[in-house]
Amino acid sequence: MIRLKRAYEPAAPGDGRRVLVERLWPRGVSRAKLRLDEWAKDVAPTPELRRWFGHEPGKWPEFRRRYFAELRANAAAWQPLLAAARRGRVTFVYAARDEARNGAVALKAFLDRRL
pTM: 0.96
Question: Measured between alpha carbons, how far is 63 from 101 in angstroms, rounded to an integer?
Answer: 9
Residue among 12, 18, 109, 10 nearest 65 (CA): 109
Instruction: Give residue 66's pLDDT.
Output: 98
Residue among 83, 74, 86 nearest 23 (CA): 74
The answer to whether 36 and 20 have CB atoms below 8 angstroms apart is yes
Per-residue pLDDT of the chain (115 residues; tens, 9 = 90+): 999 999 999 999 999 999 999 999 999 999 889 999 999 999 999 999 999 999 999 999 999 999 999 999 999 999 999 999 999 999 999 999 999 999 999 999 999 999 9
* Half-sphere exposure at residue 3, Cβ-oriented, CA atoms within 13 angstroms: 14
